[in-house]
Amino acid sequence: MSEISSRGEKRTQILDAAEALFSRHGYDGVTLRAIAKLANVDVALANYHFGPKRDLFDAVFLRRAEILNQWRLEALEKVISESAPAPPEICAIIRAYFEPILKGPHVHEEGWKNYYALVGYVNSSHEWGGKLMSQFFDPAIRRFLEALEMALPGVSDEDLYWGYHCLSGALTLTFAQTGRIDHLSNGLCRSDDLAGACSHIVAFVTAGFEQLRDR
Amino acid sequence: MSEISSRGEKRTQILDAAEALFSRHGYDGVTLRAIAKLANVDVALANYHFGPKRDLFDAVFLRRAEILNQWRLEALEKVISESAPAPPEICAIIRAYFEPILKGPHVHEEGWKNYYALVGYVNSSHEWGGKLMSQFFDPAIRRFLEALEMALPGVSDEDLYWGYHCLSGALTLTFAQTGRIDHLSNGLCRSDDLAGACSHIVAFVTAGFEQLRDR
DNA sequence: GTCTATACGGCGATAGAC
DNA sequence: GTCTATCGCCGTATAGAC
């Protein structure tokens, strides 16, 4: 944007460009040359700052993961402390998981939209889904599972893990923003409407967890 | 396997090899050379049979889609006719969607496992998710949505579409078989246990749809 | 340290000869 | 149906400008 480059600006431009392209085309669908072009920098600069292509991908993935974890954990702690000493309601826990990331003003920023699509891509990637997601997100997820365990005493761990699996699938498909639901619903629902998706998914997933009590 | 090639055998070998590789590495992560090598055929044969790479991908995707749609629609018609004239139960509709594909003996076949992973990849692909999935699967999906509408009178279309979105996300994450739930649950749940996943997801999703009545 | 220009070895899809 | 040739683009190393 600015004609005068401040320190580290090109580094950020590379991360932004890589994020945008990786999220649309996946890791193998993007060349370092395309990233350099979009970032308006020389081909070799990405390698200078980040090393090989794979390390650049990790850097992109890491950049916003910690912010995202922090938002969610803050919302969770708030919910837990507000209901203490009673366990929080399922619905409140689920909202703490979704709302900070789907209802904030940042969801309209291009960078965050791209990042979410990237997480959607990684989470359902046969190659990286297990490793990358576990590495960056599992610690925070475990806190949520503990909270759900408190709210659902007697429910088996197995049921809780599969519940999280369903939640995670619904969320990352939302992230991917494929336009599928737009087509299926003839435009009634829009896949880029993250805030709108949020309330539907929260209600759906909450009911999914609550039925575990009766099993 | 056989030393004597029957007519069309190499064609099938190419489809099988492409299916296996595309499902693991995505479209751009696979080269025609790698496919040819795995299929034990010449590099140029894929192009001879299927045209450009992209058309080969479509051929792989199409091959099992119709079988899958047919399995599901047969199960749905059975459920509808058995409960007629009353509308079927939500639970029965959801089972008709999941069980034919997750509980059949075919789920242990390598080819089907690969195909499911491929569907998982496509469904959450930002580039193709909307177009390819809609093209091959929407007609059958609409029949299921009609059945759900019968079972949930008064529920808004918007809620139904988002419900399907959640169902679809959970299913395709299952398909992707990323190993994530194995890691998260310390081996208690296994992502390659499709039949086991099925019963958990059916119960979860059924509850999700049923809460729509009370909204 | 930050960045650009250039070069290299290798592999990509696919067209055309056979 | 098969094989080979072609041409372009790939990731990355390096040399040196600022």
The CATH number of the domain where B72 resides is what? 1.10.357.10
Rounded to the nearest angstrom, the minimum Cα separation between A13 and chain B is 22
pTM of the full structure: 0.95
A6 and A110 together in one domain: no
pLDDT in tens, B104-132: 999 999 999 999 999 999 999 999 999 99
Helix (H, G, I), strand (E, B) or coil at B142: helix
pLDDT of residue B68 exceeding 70: yes
A169, B214 contact by CB (below 8 A): no
Q: Does B56 fall in a domain? A: no
The beta-carbon neighbor of B134 closest among A29, A141, A184 is: A184
* Residue ranges making up the domain that contains B2: 1-51
Strand C-proximal residues of B, range 52-71, CB below 7 A, are: 52-54
Residues of chain A above pLDDT 70, percent: 97
Which pLDDT score is estimated for A84? 87
B91 and B170 together in one domain: yes
Q: Does A56 fall in a domain? A: no
Mean pLDDT of B183-195: 97
Which pLDDT score is estimated for B6? 67
A98 and A181 together in one domain: yes
pLDDT in tens, A115-151: 999 999 999 999 999 999 999 999 999 999 999 999 9
Average model confidence (pLDDT) for chain B? 96
Mean pLDDT of B156-163: 98
Which has more pLDDT, B51 or A84?
B51
Residues of chain B above pLDDT 70, percent: 97
The Å distance, CA of A31 to C1' of D9, is 10
pLDDT of residue A3 exceeding 70: no
Inter-chain contact B204–A29, Cβ cutoff 8 Å? no
A44 and A88 together in one domain: no
What is the nearest nucleotide to B5, using C1' and CA? D1
Q: Taking CB atoms and an 8 Å cutoff, what residues of chain B touch A204?
A: 162-163, 166, 208-209, 211
B72 and B46 together in one domain: no
Which pLDDT score is estimated for A202? 98
Read off the pLDDT band of B21 (50, 70, 90): very high
pLDDT in tens, A154-183: 999 999 999 999 999 999 999 999 999 999
Read off the pLDDT band of A2 (50, 70, 90): very low
Which pLDDT score is estimated for A8? 79
Q: Does B57 fall in a domain? A: no
Closest protein residue to C6 (Cα–C1'): A44
Mean pLDDT of B44-59: 98
A117 and A187 together in one domain: yes
If one counts the domains in chain B, the total is 2
Q: Does A12 fall in a domain? A: yes
| Boundary of a domain, candidates B24, B51, B78 | B51
B54 burial (CB, 10 Å; 0-12 / 13-18 / 19+) is exposed
The CATH number of the domain where B28 resides is what? 1.10.10.60
B185 and B106 together in one domain: yes
CA dist., res. A131 & res. A43, Å (int): 29
Sorted by sequence, the CB contacts under 8 Å of residue B22 that are 6+ apart come out as: B30, B57, B60, B118, B121
Q: Taking CB atoms and an 8 Å cutoff, what residues of chain B touch A133?
A: 178, 180
**Total H helices, total E strands in chain A:** 10, 0
B81 and B176 together in one domain: yes
Residue type present at position A120:
G
B109 burial (CB, 10 Å; 0-12 / 13-18 / 19+) is exposed
Host H or E run for residue A64: helix A53-83
pLDDT of residue A193 exceeding 50: yes
CA dist., res. B102 & res. A139, Å (int): 30
pLDDT of residue A215 exceeding 90: no
Per-residue b/e over A65-75, b at no fewer than 16 CB within 10 Å? beebbebbbeb
Q: Taking CB atoms and an 8 Å cutoff, what residues of chain A touch B152?
A: none
Which pLDDT score is estimated for B5? 55
Q: Does A57 fall in a domain? A: no
The Å distance, CA of B42 to C1' of C14, is 13
Read off the pLDDT band of B8 (50, 70, 90): confident
CA dist., res. A16 & res. A29, Å (int): 16
pLDDT of residue A7 exceeding 90: no
Q: Taking CB atoms and an 8 Å cutoff, what residues of chain B touch A28?
A: 25-26, 28-29
CA dist., res. B111 & res. B16, Å (int): 7
B29 and B132 together in one domain: no
Residue type present at position B207:
A
Which pLDDT score is estimated for B3? 47
B47 and B139 together in one domain: no
Q: Does A198 fall in a domain? A: yes
Q: Is the dihedral of CA A111, A201, B145, B82 positive or negative?
A: positive
B126 and B179 together in one domain: yes
Inter-chain contact A161–B189, Cβ cutoff 8 Å? yes
A187 burial (CB, 10 Å; 0-12 / 13-18 / 19+) is exposed
Omega cis (within 30) before A105: no
A17 and A105 together in one domain: no
The answer to whether B25 CB is within 7 Å of strand C is no
